[in-house]
Amino acid sequence: MQDKVIVVVGATGGIGSALTTQLAAQGARLALVARNPDRLASLMTQLHPATQQAIPIPTDITDPKQVEALMQKVAAQFGRIDVLVNAAGAGILKPYNKLEPADLDYMLDLNLKGSFYTCQAAANIMKEAKSGHICNVVGILGKHPMAMASAYCASKFGLVGLSKCMADELKRFGLKFTLFYFGGVDSPFWDSITLKVDRNKMLRPETAANAIVYALSLEPQAIPMEINIQPESHLFF
Ligand SMILES: NC(=O)c1ccc[n+]([C@@H]2O[C@H](COP(=O)([O-])OP(=O)(O)OC[C@H]3O[C@@H](n4cnc5c(N)ncnc54)[C@H](OP(=O)(O)O)[C@@H]3O)[C@@H](O)[C@H]2O)c1
């Protein structure tokens, strides 16, 4: 990871903060992104003392103008963007007939459109350099349907579609995409979800972070297109 310029979107989340901790300890140069500036500041204080460079950039990824400014700021500060990790998102899990229009807007604006804006703005910069790696933390509900997850699945299936189309379009410019299909990860994601789940049986955020670091560690010609890790207690085949 030494000297890689990595933008972690959702850096203060369960998966994002576990990942940030590992990347910082391994010498990456980091742009840490989420909305809440206090949580970003707190994350900064917890990073490894040997951390080279990390800058917090509070951004709401549902606003394409803020996302464009974010990527320009990273490119100006570090000279390039090697990796974008999209680990921001949220979940609404409830019966289809309880879904409000605002629920659908929230899922699509954040999980689908927000991720598209970050992919688009980062890819424009990576394309010039003819190199870049975009890691989208989709989740298994971007591959498998589940009752109560209509709006969430719609956003995540959409994210898979846009990622694969962009990967095909951008492969000749040296860009690669990896999609991560994690099952339940015990993180603050679940704090606001009322569905009965056993968080003790979920994956740890560190397991998800390890998988992302692994994908980033392969030799340049190897493209880890998909990584799928499920908790034993809740397997989707
Ligand atoms: N937890 C799971 O079981 C699981 C499983 C598979 C996939 N996933 C996916 O993995 C991703 C990360 O999940 P997690 O478990 O780490 O969730 P989390 O702990 O709830 O973290 C979510 C992160 O996203 C940021 N965020 C939310 N809205 C944002 C916005 N509009 N603009 C910028 N940042 C925003 C949050 O910070 P602020 O609130 O400060 O903005 C936070 O840093 C999500 O896409 C989720 O769908 C999760």
pLDDT in tens, 115-129: 999 999 999 999 999
Give the distance from CA 37 to its chain's centroid.
18
Contacts with 13 (C-beta within 8 Å, 6 or more apart), sequence order: 34, 87, 88, 187, 188, 189
Q: Which of 7, 8, 30, 35 to mutate to test the pocket of ligand 1 (most atoms within 8 A of CB)?
A: 35
Integer Cα distance of 183 and 193 in angstroms: 15
Domain residue limits at 178: 5-229
The CATH number of whichever domain residue 40 belongs to comes to: 3.40.50.720
237 lies in a domain? no
Q: What is the pLDDT of residue 36?
A: 98
Q: Single out the residue of 145, 192, 143, 149 nearest to residue 164, CA to CA.
A: 143
139 lines ligand 1 (CB under 6 A): yes
Name the band, by pLDDT with cuts 50, 70 and 90, for residue 30: very high
Q: Single out the residue of 179, 175, 167 nearest to residue 211, CA to CA.
A: 179
Read off the pLDDT of each residue in 134-145 and give the average, rounded to a whole number.
98
36 lines ligand 1 (CB under 6 A): yes
236 lies in a domain? no
Read off the pLDDT of each residue in 194-199 and give the average, rounded to a whole number.
92
* Tally of domains in the chain: 1
Integer Cα distance of 83 and 13 in angstroms: 18
Read off the pLDDT of each residue in 203-220 and give the average, rounded to a whole number.
97
